[in-house]
Structure 1
């Protein structure tokens, strides 16, 4: 096993349509704990998302957030809850092509989920103020990666943020040990380690992104692909 190059050939067990439904359900249920521990969305919200929400609020606009590849929706619910605690008017939509993920997602006030690809929303003419994803980039083949960036640039009128893992030996070792308490009965540990092996280094992601996308680092083990439109929606 090596971490020197991306292991693009590996597949995660939970992506297998014939995987254990019980283990899959438990995995979705515990994603929230793992994402809170490792995904740095608190910092991303404070430094990138909240300033955009404040600008929209000053202009009298309620914000709309799209979560692409939302899984069971824990990240979207967390962002919406944080925004509402700060007094912002906000609604969220989560999309995922996997019916099992949408089945595990729980709608709430102003938070909706649907089974869809981002291209379907583009074709519908939909737009959002903010577009996010979590642990999606490393799942994608080359063409899918390019399509996601293109769709995000069209859907996100003010900001797109795709958060993923920064591949490295320390990240692999830390997750291998840190996931043990929550891993029993789930795919979290084995798929998490596979995810790290499939993920990008900062240099690899920077080389992969076209302008004006850029790489940011909210934490030692995290990467962000960030896009701000050249001509964002003008607020009054």
Structure 2
């Protein structure tokens, strides 16, 4: 029987200290707008928003079996969320519309460190009063302890080195009452190939073509991210994967030691 080459059996190592173009100067406004438009398409077509929704349901309803989590009655009062590194704020908009359609209410404070990005987000969120945008940086996050029910970030973690990610997760835990949601890419060779191909089929945008495959190389595998979160007292209670296995959303709570996290395929959550 033929064995696989050793290289093929070796997991893809994380590529550190190589920034994406989106992390550099954003002087080309046309390219930036195109890149953010591409990210909105990916979130919509490949289920990025749905992953965050599943994690929010886990925190709000407690479907993961631990009775101490999920005490929010989101039909009686608004749920408040901080979205860190919001980009176009398309995921907050999608979550607000989803909750509104079901007689619930979600209020989101969406922040990004780059004013150029927030300018684009203001256009995307026009008419959605439940999403408030601010230019803000962190850590430290400019909010008091327990200011929000949930702190959320999507496609942010892979931009950070482990010590930076740990510091941000600690702050997100500090400002949240119930828990933290992290939605990000899963590092792997198939995911890298998919990102490379999609970037060339989807767009000619130079930022997208450069950053998409690099984002996968810089991403944390879900167990790696959970380990970093555990160091700051955040414990995983649910994990949802995209239908292609390329992305995940993890819901964390504050030091609640319940059953082992379950790994749900996309669409299996309530």
- TM category, shorter: 0.7 to 0.9
CA shift in 2, pair 1:18/1:132, >3 Å: closer
| Partner in structure 2 of residue 130 of structure 1 | 150
Tell whether the 8 Å contact from 2:162 to 2:228 is kept in structure 1 after alignment: no
CA shift in 2, pair 1:207/1:11, >3 Å: same
| Partner in structure 2 of residue 113 of structure 1 | 133
| Partner in structure 2 of residue 234 of structure 1 | none
Q: CA deviation at 1:187?
A: 1.6
Tell whether the 8 Å contact from 1:163 to 1:224 is kept in structure 2 after alignment: yes
The 5 A counterparts of 1:181-220 are 181-210=201-230, 211-214=233-236, 216-219=239-242, 220=245
CA shift in 2, pair 1:207/1:52, >3 Å: closer
Structure 1 residue ranges without an equivalent (≥5) = 232-236
Structure with higher Rg: it is 2
Q: Equivalent residue of 1:130, what SS? A: strand
Q: CA deviation at 1:29?
A: 2.4
CA shift in 2, pair 1:90/1:212, >3 Å: closer
Give CA deviations for 1:54-78 in whole Å, capped at 9, x if unaligned: 63235x2211111100012111111
CA shift in 2, pair 1:188/1:168, >3 Å: same
Tell me which protein shows more helix as a share of its residues.
Answer: 1
Scaled by the length of structure 2, what TM-score is found?
0.75
Whether 2:33 is the aligned partner of 1:25: answer yes
Q: 1:57 aligns with which of 64, 74, 81?
A: 74
* CA distance, structure 1, for counterparts of residue 178 and residue 18 of structure 2: 34
Q: CA deviation at 1:80?
A: 1.0
* CA distance, structure 1, for counterparts of residue 199 and residue 223 of structure 2: 26
* CA distance, structure 1, for counterparts of residue 227 and residue 80 of structure 2: 30
Q: CA deviation at 1:152?
A: 1.1
| Partner in structure 1 of residue 259 of structure 2 | none
| Partner in structure 1 of residue 254 of structure 2 | 229
Q: CA RMSD in A?
A: 2.4
CA shift in 2, pair 1:230/1:4, >3 Å: closer
Scaled by the length of structure 1, what TM-score is found?
0.85
Q: Equivalent residue of 2:132, what SS? A: strand
CA shift in 2, pair 1:48/1:202, >3 Å: closer
Farther off after superposition, 65-74 or 211-220: 211-220
Q: CA deviation at 1:102?
A: 0.9
Q: CA deviation at 1:41?
A: 2.8
Structure 2 residue ranges without an equivalent (≥5) = 1-9, 62-71, 257-270
Q: CA deviation at 1:43?
A: 4.1
